[in-house]
A and B are shown apart, each in its own frame.
Chain A
């Protein structure tokens, strides 16, 4: 695990840009990013700076992945109800 973490950190250093967008700017665009992805387009091409931030920031990435998965469930008509979700809590 430690080696994986070290490798990930090296990749982050390697892919560091002089200018990177902030977490707020990423937050503002992440819903657009998810919709682009859902439409079948490559969001990394349309919104490269958002993609770059998501690759560097674990907090924004986790929010993005949750939003993407929730949006996919909604698109498939499988958005869980409050009761469904409550029942998952032990």
Chain B
């Protein structure tokens, strides 16, 4: 049975030939399909408008793509987890991308990114702190003004675009990746660089962000 193979047995059987390899591939494909369906079952809201057969077909596609990815990367398996845990992540990754694509199809990210910069700044300037003294209110206002200034003056257009889409609109990473025609690493780096600029911008003005966080939650 598939779930009782050791890591070594998985690698041996998948690298074998004939019926041994075929059985291992069939077992692996079944597990990858279950991993994809498991992700889908937690995110059924992403598939509104699709019937069960269409959702199953997307899961089958994810399982097949994941199977190919796993077989292509067998030599990358380091043995620091169960083989199946390592394999599941490929199916989950593909299931997430497929689910988010379905949820966001038809939404123009160009419009979202360009039309709502003013809304982002309104959001930034909303004061949600309650029951705090005038000194803390002033600190919050200074922090918000600084964040706005850094976003406007120090971020690149791409950094600002990704920030607006992902932080303000909560567009999923994979949709931003698709929109920009790039990959997760590049989008993550844009966000990381934006965060670094915002952090150093606050520090340069003597604003301690940790103190500000206690205005939301004393455990900060």
Contact = CB atoms under 8 A, between A and B. Distances in A.
Interface of A: 2-3, 5-7, 9-14, 16, 18, 20, 22-24, 27-28, 30-32, 34-35, 56-59, 62-63, 66-67, 70-71, 74, 79-82, 85-86, 88-90
A10 B146 CA distance: 13
Interface residues of B, number: 54
A89 B81 contact: no
A62 B191 CA distance: 18
B93 A63 contact: yes
A13 B37 contact: no
Contacts of B3: 74, 79
A67 B195 contact: no
11 contacts: A3-B126, A11-B213, A13-B199, A32-B78, A32-B81, A56-B191, A59-B173, A67-B92, A71-B85, A81-B34, A85-B34
A2 B126 contact: yes
A62 B42 CA distance: 11
B77 to A, nearest CB: 9
Interface in B29-59: 30, 33-35, 37-42, 44, 52, 55-56
A24 B90 CA distance: 12
A89 B173 contact: no
B30 A66 contact: no
Nearest to A88: B41
B209 A67 contact: no
